[in-house]
Amino acid sequence: MTPDLALIVAAGAGLAGFVAGLAGFGTGLVALGVWLHVLDPLLAAPLVVICAVVGHFQSLWSLRRRLVWSRLRPFLAGGLPGVPLGTLLLGLLDPEVFRGLVGVFLLVYAGTLLLLRQMPVLNFGGRLADAAVGLGGGVLGGFAGLSGPLPTIWCSLKGWSKDEQRSVFQGFNLSILSLALISQALGGVVTREVLLLGLVCLPATSLGAWLGRCSYDRIDDRQFRRLVLWLLLASGAALTVSNLP
Tell me the pLDDT band of 161, cut-offs 50, 70 and 90.
Answer: confident
Report the phi/psi class of residue 78: left, alpha or beta, with left for phi > 0 and alpha for psi in -120 to 50. alpha
Query: What residues have CB less than 8 Å from 227, skipping those under 6 apart?
Result: 22, 23, 219
Q: How far is CA 180 from the centre of its chain?
A: 13
Q: Which domain holds residue 54?
A: 3-242
- Position with higher pLDDT, 197 vs 37: 197
pLDDT tens for residues 115-147? 887 777 877 778 899 999 999 888 888 776 678
Nearest CA among 143, 185, 190, 193 for reference residue 5: 193
- Strand ranges in 87-232 using DSSP code E only, listed in sequence order: none
Sequence-distant (6+) residues with CB within 8 A of 165 are 24, 152, 155, 156, 158, 224, 228
Beta strands per DSSP E along the chain: none
Angle at 187 between CA 205 and CA 183, to 5 degrees: 60
* Bigger pLDDT: 145 vs 2: 2
- Tens of pLDDT along 190-231? 889 989 999 999 999 999 999 998 999 899 888 888 888 898
3-state secondary structure of 193: helix
- Please state the domain count of the chain: 1
Higher pLDDT, 51 or 86: 51
Q: What is the reported pLDDT for 130? A: 92
SS3 147: coil
pLDDT at 207: 95
